[in-house]
Amino acid sequence: MFIGDMQGMSMCSGPCTKPWPAVLTTGAPTAGSRVQASALGTITNGSAQQVTYDGHPLYCFIRDKSAGSTAGEGINHFGGSWYVVSPAGKGIQPDGKVVAGSGMQ
């Protein structure tokens, strides 16, 4: 999750999308293990549908090469910090603590 995002809107655009591409879908997103299906959703991002979790637009990080990788965790980049989203829909710091202010702006 990007702390700079607004409710229902991705604030990552232009150069930001190179290291942090949006998680996109062409249909309804499906929940994996430990994910609450009711927390999944989408927003319109340009001409695409970006997946959200608990209202947070989701992104990948280009240096995360496999499931469970968290190379982008806690990076302050493009005017805000980036965090992994927990199954509860909160940002998680590298030390495992919940990010203060991980609600949407």
Tens-digit pLDDT profile for residues 34-90: 889 999 999 999 899 999 999 999 999 998 888 777 777 777 777 778 888 888 888
Its pTM stands at 0.84
Instruction: Report pLDDT digits (tens) over 5-45.
Output: 887 899 999 999 999 999 999 999 998 888 899 999 999 99
The amino acid at residue 104 is M
Count structural domains, the chain. 1
Domain extent for 98: 1-105
Q: Residue 65's pLDDT is what?
A: 82
Taking the C-alpha atoms of residue 11 and residue 56, their distance in angstroms, rounded to an integer, is 11
Give the CA angle between residues 12, 65, 21 to the nearest 5°. Answer: 15
- Whether 105 shows a pLDDT value over 70: the answer reads no
